[in-house]
Amino acid sequence: MKYWKISTLLLLTPFFLQCGGEAKVSSDKLDQRIDSVMMLMNLEEKIGQMNLFTSDWDVTGPTLRENYKEDIVAGKVGAIFNAHTAAYNRELQRIAVEESRLKIPLLFGYDVIHGYKTIFPIPLGEAASWDLEAIERSASVAAAEASAAGLHWTFAPMVDISREPRWGRVMEGAGEDPYLGSMVARARVRGFQGETFENADKVLACVKHFAAYGAPEAGREYNTVDMSDRMFRDVYLPPYKAAVEEGAYTVMTSFNELDGVPASGNSYLLHDILREEWGFKGIVVTDYTSINEMVLHGIVADEKEAGELALQAGVDMDMQGAVYYKYLKQSVEEGKISVTQIDQAVRNILRVKFILGLFDDPYRYFDTEREKQVLFSQANQEAALDMARKSIVLLRNENQTLPLSKELRSLAVIGPLADSQNDLIGAWSGAGNGNDCVSLLKGLQDKAGTAMQIRHARGCDFEGTDRSGFAAALSLARQSDAIVVAIGEKGRMSGEAMSRSDITLPGVQEELVKALVATGKPVVVVLMNGRPLAIPWIAENTPAVLETWFLGTKAGNAIADVLFGDYNPSGKLTMTFPRNVGQIPIYYNHKNTGRPFEPNTTWTSHYMDVPNSPQFPFGWGLSYTTFDYSAIQADQPAFGKSGSVTLRVTVSNTGLRDGEEVVQLYVRDLVGSVTRPVRELKGFKKINLKAGSQEEVTFTLTAADLAFHTRSMAFEAETGYFDVFIGGNSEADQSIRIQLTE
Ligand code: BGC
């Protein structure tokens, strides 16, 4: 044993020491280095690299293994998740590189979804900023903090497109649109991974959940997904592809089945698309125990068979399921799988460890000094505040109720979320601490100073029917100049396994708002929630509604800035808000049908009890100023497949305040070899306009922008006519017709 330790160390040292940041490593050299390790490994050690186990620190699902430290010594673990802080992870790494035979360093992963210690808005909120630079910055702050806390790997970004507000995980994604979703996916991968791991301040991104996890039937978590391949490729697949193209080093499978095959055993997804079509070279990791779950899916008889199916499909690393750990060796001995298949997976894992520079210095991510400096730094909090402001969407503002005047003498701050801190960091909040979060009440108090009397009454809880707090809230409201009422969902009512069949406001919150509106005082509804809600009464009867999601550490400051006009809101929805749950799925890029809705006609596609239109469409969001769009101009009426067309529009700020506008471009392909959506987002620009000023905004479209999966499943644009719409939301009515020719 001793001999082995010494000899492997000697053999490996030169290779380990030569390997630094990935940019310097040519792939031939990298392959040789991988070979140099592979040749020392026995089968158990190879299989060992393929296991990812949770530590006992922070658990996000069932735990199967308690003796993971012994497993590290035995070389039976390749990576650990849910272990963090530089000191703790250093100790685990020490066990790996000092006590295991081959001294192969561990990878440390964690769900750093919207911040590690400094918590940013939930991703659905960040997406509403349509500000890719800010989103990238948010991910890079998360990476700086996570890497300082001993982490190499975040299980993000989640890029699952979803048209399902009942599904609790929409809070983790960018919404319903494949184009915007792809841009956000790229920005987040860039932010997490940066250009190089040389400075140990970046982390590996993990694109998840591959694939189509965002389309569970009836919005119920983990439920079956079934859709046409065309729909899959046109709508759901693009963001995963974009993230892989952007260089994401790891991909996580999803829990769901797709066309009858669970993702973790799906070679169409993991081999044909990911490896063959896209050339992915990184690690494929399962989502939690999804290999084991293939038994319950009914696609294999037992766990051993599940492991074989997963490996054959292309899963490199088994998260927490211990299926590879328990059965893979036996499967090799029985000839069910080959050592070559195992070697392939192990090479994928070692490659990433080399790229991170861990063989060079296994301790490079464990700098406790840097950890102290970086975590929750002033600069990071400022970035979180900036992102929080940008994520807010002004849904309604009748008679310029907002912004509130700073001259108000008194303000009533009401509602179950008004003084909450914990809820505002939302689900998947890493190592964030609710006590560090600025509540709305605190944010308002800090802003208003002493001249304005700010008083709080909770009014009611999130759930239940207790109305005993109404009286105090109403009495306070009557004594105040204006009312801010913070309502919505508890922080943990969205996220994993948090599906809801009813997406109205829970409890008696709406009743409370009705009573407040009846006082005749100006009422501003501040919504906090992790998904689109169905709030028809509030959307149509309250003077002002502000969508604030869960904005993170600086939530209260950001909302106060918007309420008092120190920041002019510019966010736009990235998921449609339905009028009621029966309209779901409701999304802007739907098909026309052969009987599109016509007023006063019976035999057209409609409901008897609710309009077809949503409460708030995709792309919707108001400002404290107003924008006017000129007619659209095209530089030519037609363009060929190798050419392009440039579209111009002049946007004017016609109000009295400076403001930002997200100028959106949608296309409708009028005739296709298969039916085409009524609109598809193909471009956007966020511009900043001074009051009274105007700016010409241009977009260039090429045939590639108009490509889709045609009748023969070729991905290409078809010649013909297209209507182009440009405006401030997906219902923009300015349009121009252009033609694509051969
Ligand atoms: C979630 C993943 C997450 C993993 C590890 C799973 O339950 O679906 O998104 O990365 O747990 O915590």
Domain ranges across the chain: 389-583, 627-741
| Residues 6 or more apart in contact with residue 468 via CB below 8 angstroms | none
> Is 263 in contact with 210 (CB distance < 8 Å)?
yes
Measure the CA angle with vertex 568, ends 566 and 570; round to 5°.
150
| pLDDT confidence bin for 14, thresholds 50/70/90 | very low
Q: Are 389-583 and 627-741 the same fold in CATH?
A: no
Q: How far is the CA of 156 from the centre of ligand 1 (A)?
A: 10
pLDDT value at position 64?
Answer: 53
CA 60 – ligand 1 centroid, Å? 7
- Return the ligand 1 atom nearest residue 158 CA: 9
634, two tokens: 């095209």
Ligand 1 atom closest to residue 320's alpha carbon, by position in its atom list: 5
Closest-lying ligand 1 atom to the alpha carbon of residue 156: 10
For ligand 1, whether the C-beta of 434 sits within 6 Å is no
Instruction: Find out whether the beta carbon of 61 lies less than 6 Å from any atom of ligand 1.
Output: yes
Of 52, 81, 155, 167, the residue with max ligand 1 atoms within 8 A of its CB, to mutate for a pocket test, comes to 155
**Does 718 contact ligand 1 (Cβ within 6 A)?**
no
Q: Which of 111, 160, 287, 316 is catalytic?
A: 287
Is residue 61 within 8 A of residue 288, CB to CB? The reply is yes
Helix (H) or strand (E) holding 666: strand 659-669
Could you tell which of 60, 206, 210, 289 is best to mutate to test the pocket of ligand 1, judged by most ligand atoms within 8 Å of the CB? Answer: 60
Kindly tell me if the per-residue pLDDT of 620 is higher than 50.
yes
Distance CA 55, CA 106 (A): 13
Instruction: Name the pTM for this structure.
Output: 0.96
Q: Could you please state the CATH topology (level 3) that the domain comprising 627-741 is classified under.
A: Immunoglobulin-like (2.60.40)
Query: Does 496 sit in the ligand 1 pocket, CB within 6 Å?
Result: yes
Look at ligand 1, atom 8, and give the residue with the nearest C-alpha: 287
What residue's CA is closest to ligand 1, atom 10?
Answer: 155
- Give the integer Cα–Cα distance in Å for 283 and 36: 19
Question: What was the pLDDT predicted at 15?
Answer: 37
Q: Which two tokens stand for residue 54?
A: 């949770």
150 Cα: distance to centroid of ligand 1 (angstroms): 19
The Cβ of residue 735 has, within 10 Å, a number of other Cβ atoms equal to 18
60 lines ligand 1 (CB under 6 A): yes
Q: What is the structure's pLDDT at 66?
A: 67
Indicate whether 104 pLDDT > 70: yes
Span from the CA of 468 to the centroid of ligand 1 (angstroms): 39
Residue 698 pairs in a beta bridge with 648
pLDDT at 4 over 50: no
How far does CA 87 lie from the centroid of its chain? 29
pLDDT of 17 higher than 80: no
In this prediction, residue 460 carries a pLDDT of 98
What is the pLDDT, as a whole number, of residue 67?
78
Nearest ligand 1 atom, CA 60: 12
pLDDT in tens, 274-295: 999 999 999 999 999 999 999 9
Give me the pLDDT at residue 6, please. Answer: 31
Ligand 1 center from residue 395 Cα (angstroms): 32
CA of 118 to the centre of ligand 1 (A): 20
Question: In 3-state terms, what secondary structure has residue 565?
Answer: coil
- How much is the mean pLDDT over the chain? 95
pLDDT score of 12 more than 50:
no
pLDDT for the residue 219: 98
- Cβ atoms of 193 and 136 within 8 Å: the answer is no
Ligand 1 near 288 CB (within 6 A)? yes
Based on the residue annotation, tell me whether 287 is a catalytic residue of this protein: yes
Instruction: Give the largest Cα separation in the chain, rounded.
Output: 88
pLDDT in tens, 200-218: 999 999 999 999 999 999 9
Q: Which residue puts its alpha carbon closest to atom 12 of ligand 1? A: 60
Using the mean position of ligand 1's atoms as its centre, give its distance from the Cα of residue 402 in Å.
40
DSSP string, 240-294: HHHHHHTT-SEEEE-SSEETTEEGGG-HIIIIIIIIIIT---SEEE-STTTTTHH
Ligand 1 center–CA 190 separation, angstroms: 21
Average pLDDT over residues 127-140: 98
| Ligand 1 center–CA 169 separation, angstroms | 11
Q: Which of 635, 654, 661, 668 is nearest to 735 (CA)?
A: 668
Is the shortest distance between the CB of 155 and ligand 1 below 6 Å? yes
Listed in sequence order, the residues at least 6 apart from 451 whose beta carbon sits closer than 8 Å to its beta carbon are: none
Q: Whose CA is nearest to atom 1 of ligand 1?
A: 287
Whether the pLDDT of residue 468 is over 50: the answer is yes
Residues 685, 735 contacting (CB under 8 angstroms): no
- Tell how far the Cα of 287 is from the centroid of ligand 1, in angstroms: 6
Mean pLDDT (whole number) for 244-252: 98
Distance 655 CA to ligand 1 centre (A): 46
What would the pLDDT profile of 310-329 be if each residue is shown by its tens digit? 999 999 999 999 999 999 99
CATH number for the region 389-583 comes to 3.40.50.1700
**Residue 515 has which token pair?**
């009573």
130 Cβ inside 6 Å of ligand 1: no
Closest CA to 665 of 706, 612, 721, 716: 706
Question: Going by CA atoms, what residue is nearest to atom 2 of ligand 1?
Answer: 287
Asked if residue 428 has its Cβ within 6 Å of ligand 1, the reply is: no
- Cβ atoms 671, 721 nearer than 8 A: yes
- Per-residue pLDDT of 679-692, as tens digits, reads 999 999 999 999 99
Express as a percent the part of the chain with pLDDT over 70.
95
DSSP string, 441-479: HHHHHHHHTTTSEEEEE----SSS---TTHHHHHHHHHT
Residue type, 695: E
Answer whether residue 63 shows pLDDT above 90: no
Q: Provide the 8-state DSSP code for 709.
A: E
Whole-number Cα distances in Å, 121 to 142, 163, 435, 506: 12, 20, 16, 22
Backbone φ and ψ of 663, nearest 5°: -85, 120
The pLDDT value given to residue 61:
56
pLDDT at residue 48, rounded to an integer: 98
What is the reported pLDDT for 409? 97
